[in-house]
Structure formats: C-alpha cells, structure tokens
A and B are shown apart, each in its own frame.
Chain A
Amino acid sequence: MTQIPMGAVPKKDNEKLKVLKKPNKNVFLQMKKNYSAYLFLLPKLILFVLFVAIPVIWAFVLSFQEYKIFGSEFVGLDNYIKVFQSEAFLVALKNTLLFTVVTVPFSVLSALVIASMIFVLGKVSQSFFRSAFYLPTVTSMVIIAMVWRWMYNYEFGLFNYILGWFGIEQINWLGQSSSALWALIIMQCLIPFGVGIIMYLASMGSISHSLYEAARMDGASSFKQWLHITIPLLKPTTLYLVLLSTIGSFQVFTQIIMMTGGGPGNATETLVHLIYKTGFRDFEFGLAAAQSVVLFVIILIFSIIQFRVLRHDE
C-alpha cells in the first residue's frame, strides 16, 4: 500500500535548508510540533514495551541462563545443548513435524477444493455453505477437543460405532501409541479450514472474467480452466494460507492437553506442550525459554523456505 503524503502544501524552501544545516534541532522541532501524535501512541507503546518487547528480549536472555529467584546464572549454551540432547524434545519435534506435514497440505488443498465447489453456486447457497464451514472455526478448540475425545471413546464413541457398520473392530484411538497421533491428525484434517475457504472465495471473486472467456473461446474445459487459470492466480492466497496454517500447526497445544496429555508415553508430545510442561510443571525456566527460542527459529526457517519455494516456481 502506498502512502499518500500528508497535506498538499509543498515544503517551503527555507525549511529544506534547515534540514540540511541543523538536522538535530529540526528533529526536535518536528517532535515538538507533533507531540500529540506521541500522546496518541503512548498508551499502546507502554503496554507493548512492558508486555511484548521486554518479555521477548528476556526470553532470549533467559535461554542462556539458569533461572534463580535471586540472581540467575549465565550458563552459556547449556540449555540449548540440553534441548537437543533430550529425547523428549526430539520426539516432540518429530511428532510436530509429522502433524504439520500431513495436516497443512490436506487443510489447504481441501479448502481450495471446497471453495471452488462453493464458488460456482448461487448467492444464497454460497453464503449458507460458507457459514457451515466457518462455524467450527469460531468455536474454541477446547470444546472441539472435548467432543472429539468423546467421539474417540473406545466403548461408547461414535467412531467405533460407525466402524462397526463396516465390520471393522473397535480401535483404542487415543489409548495406544500406534494410533494416538494419527487420531489427532485425522481430527485436524476433518476440522474444516474456515479461514482458508473464506480467503479462497474472496480471491476467486477478484479474478477477471475475461480470462475465462478467452480460455473458453480456445475450447478449454472447466477443469482445465481451473487448473491453468484459477490455481496459478490464487498462488498468493495459497502462499499466505500455507504459512498461516504451518505456523498454527507448529503451535498445536490445546488438543494435546485436552485429549492425551502428550501420551500414551510421549506418543503425542508436541513442541508447545513440551514447553508448557518444562516451564510450568517442572519450572525449568531457562530450559523452557531455550525450547521456545528453538521453536521460533524452526518456524522462521520453515516460513522462509515456503516463501521461497512458492514464490519461485512461477
């Protein structure tokens, strides 16, 4: 977005000269002249510094310390070494990666397919289905996790009952290491990616008609139009949605604590659940800070890679 310059009046020449001669005084004057702007910013800025900026810096500092109430000790890279040597962290990393690698492509792709299906419908059906798919997104994950835990119940659960129709034996979905993580992955895949559907619908609406007209003149089928016009033009949206859901997926937590507590064993341990346990069950603040910094770096690396890959093959 380009910014429109403030006011239409051009700067006077002598004012420009002042800038050249005495930059410091000019800055001070500018600040004085705009004191009200600073007043408007001040409340948010104070909160930001106190509850965002300081904690962020502090987290990096803490990750090199062993926290003690009276005077923390610097321990160099010890916390980071501990992070990568602990089996729990490596398992959590592996689980989180598997969760992300399966659910992100599935969510984004199914959002694209569902949005494409909704888009060709009439106005009323469009808004009806859009709401139906977005509704689960506004309800808290706590609720969704509670009901899915109940649906996965071994004896009374809905899923084992449905499997029974097809003569499949009951599965102890969340109770055994072999299926617990997959149960959570299936659940994530079946929760519609409401944000994705809405954003895809909005982007499809802004694609110019003439492109499709031209394609139809050339005799391209609807599917070919979709493949060669719609999908390439939706690329920025796809990029954004992949980034968004990857970031969200790396932070998966609520389902874990509500449904499995990371178990059985550490079959469903994830990075954020591990940070939570390290920090607030074992109170190892330095280690938890190091884990969270590693999480940040992983997310950052993934974001950069995805950005590059999805931007480049144009």
Chain B
Amino acid sequence: MSKNIRFTRTTTFAMLAGASLLLASCSGGGNSGNGASEGGSASSPGASSPSASASAPESAAASPASASQASASPANASPQEKVTLSFWYGWTGPEGEAIEKLIKQFNDSHPNITVKGLSQSDYQKQLTAITGGNPPDIASQFGQNVAAWGTKGAMIPLDDYIAKDNVDLNDFIPGALVSSQYDGHTYALPIAMHFTMLFYNKKMLADAGYSAPPATMTELKEYAEKLSVVQKDGRLEVLGLWPGIDSYTFSQVYGGKFWDPDTKQVTPDDPGFKQAVQFSKDLWDKYGSENLDRFSASLGKYQSAQNPFFSGKYAMTIDGEWLPTFIKQFAPSLDYGIAPIPYSEDHPELKNAGNINTSVLYIPKGAKHPDASWEFIKWFTDKQQLVQFTAALGNLPTRASTLDDPSYDAVPGFKEFTDYAKSPNLKSFPSLPFFSEYSDALTKAVNDILRGKTTIDDGLAGVKKTIQPLVK
C-alpha cells in the first residue's frame, strides 16, 4: 500500500526494480555488513572543493561568477587527445538499448571521445565508486537525490559549463530543472521527467451516469464513492479510486508546500498537504484498512493484463505517462480517458497541478575528463537527442521546446501529457539534501495516519520533529 502513496516511478524504474533485483541485492547485501567502513578507506582525495563552493551563499543561478571555485581544474576547452569515458546508466533491457543507440551516435560524431556505456542499476554502486576515487565519467541518477549528492560534493557543479556553452536553462521545464539545482547551483541536467494524471474507465463512468471525468476534488470523491462496489460484508469488488493516492501530487492541488526557504523550516504540517492527506484518509476510512488490504492483495500485477485499472477493478487511477503504453500492450480494448488532476474549489488558480520526478545526468566528483563528460551531457540534452531518447522510452522530455515534437505522436497518450506538461502548476518536491529521509518519514507517517495509528496532526508533527534537525 505504501507503494501507492509513495512516488510513482517511471516505467523505467518500475521495470528496472524488478529486473535488477539480483544485481542490486547481491552488491547491496554485500555492502551492508561492513558498509560503514567501505567509504572510509578512500575518503581523502579532494573532499573539499565542490561542496565548498556549494555552501557559499550565492543565489544567482548559473551566473558565471558564482561557480568560479569549482572550475579550477577543467579550465581548458574541448579535449585534444582521445579520451574514453565510462557512462553508468540505470536503464536496462530495451531502454538500455535505446541509450546504447544514442551512445553510438555520439561516438560516431565525436572522434576524440569514446563513451562506453554500462547498465548499472544499482545506484549505490555510484557512491562507492565516487568515494573510492574511481567513479564513472558520467552517470544517471534520480532528480530527488541531486541536492543530497550535490551539496555533499559527489557531483561536479555544471554552472561554469552551462555559462560557457550558453545552455538555455530557460528552455527546461521549471519543475524538472529545479530538482537538479540547489542553492543556486546546477549539479545535473534532467533528461526525462514523469508526472501523473487521472485515468478513467469511460465505460464504468458512463454506466454510473457520468459523461465526463471529475473536474474538482469534490467530484473526485463523489465519483470514487459512487463507482466503488462494496458487498454487504464490507468486501470490496470494485474501487472507484484507490484511497492511498500520491500525496505529493495532491498536495500541489491544495497548494501545499513542504519547505519554507525563508525560515528554513520543513513544513509537513502545511495546510495544503494536510488537506491532501485528509482527502486520502476520508476515502480510506470509508472502506477500512482490512477491506482495503484484502482487496489490494487480490489485485493483479501492475505490468500485466490483470492491472486493476485494466481489469476494471479500479474505475479511476492516478498514473504516469507510461501507462498508455502498457494499456496498448496489455489491454488494447480498454476504453479509457486521460484527464487533468482534479482541482480544489478553494484553489481554482491551481488547476492542472502535478508533481514532477526526473531522471538526470551528472558528472561524478573525481571524473578524469570532466570537459569531455560535459560534452556528452550537453549533447545528450540537446533537443534532438532528448526527443529521440524520451520517445524511445516513452518518458516525457524536459525541454519545453520539444513538447510538440512530432516524434511523440506515435506514443500513445502523449498528447495529453505533453499538453499538460505546459501547465505552470506542475511542481516538484523541493530540492533538499535530506530528501530521502524526509520522503521516507512522510511515507511512514501517511501510512500510520491512514491506518489509524496516529492522527493527522500528530503524525505530521512527528515528521517535523524528525526532519527539522537535519536542516543545516
């Protein structure tokens, strides 16, 4: 169930999580035993420079002056002698092949640089490689880790490169770009993004007498209740909407903030977020944990024809841009629609809200040829490559100028998503160095709140108490 409140990940990572278990766990398991000491053996080299500049109180994003310290080494321009770069990316299978295709194009067009790709979905490996002083030259990451890794000096800031090559950061979708930035520095560039919208089963809605999807939160609740089929003993047969909705997305609906930059306070008790949790809680309590658990245990696999939305167990679902591709694959006859996330009547100005997650590329600290690495990242985030990459994966592009590219016409459902991507109310969880802790604490709290182990106020106050001390 926590799966449903937590971030919905990309297809990529959903699939990857399954496919890469073997790899991840073998190494992960090995690490855990004496993990504490592994980093220790090699903590010395250059642990200071990037983080030093990161903590400087500058605010102008990407201004050439702001990152002067960080650029001490990569002074001269494009490399003259031949270099070979290693590139660790988290994608596997067909998605990995799409990356390899791009790598080949890059190598063909850049005689001096040879990039060697490695599908390495155990992201913790990057940590040990960086602390061990032998990192890849380019690596992929989740956007939400950038602040943590960037401020700790694991990522080389890209500010100077961006300034030097006049990369137009304004073309990046703001909600996607901010996840790669912290305290005025850009540590990575987003290459793909994800957010969720409302999917609804047209037939089930029509049978219940609805001709249009719910537009407001009140309607969403009404639809959810009316579309559910509950037996006399409380057993669920059909759910209008799974109550453990993604509280980050719905927090945006109510204008919820998780962080107050002025007072440097985490604000899990923000009224907007509270409202989102309350919405979930009301719906949850209508059925109760026991019935919901039993129901959810009976549901089929996400990536199969038994996906509850495909099989009519859910009348509506909140899901990402990859879902239409799955529907086409697993349930081609499903008559469905994609609609904006409903808005709250109290906040009509926040229509078309959503929560963005990104995948990013960065240069790890200690990379031997940062200039060449940047060359690759710059090339990869160019319009043309970005479109090729995201269209192949069925992920959303991160540059506004690519949203109307005809390459996406072939991807099912993308029209709705690329249009929605233009909404100014798409935000992302604030970029914070303690994101993982914060997010885990929120997930735990929401779980306890829904299951009645604590109240909303107590639960969220508990999060604040745990997380606020992490603010530096």
A and B together in one complex? no
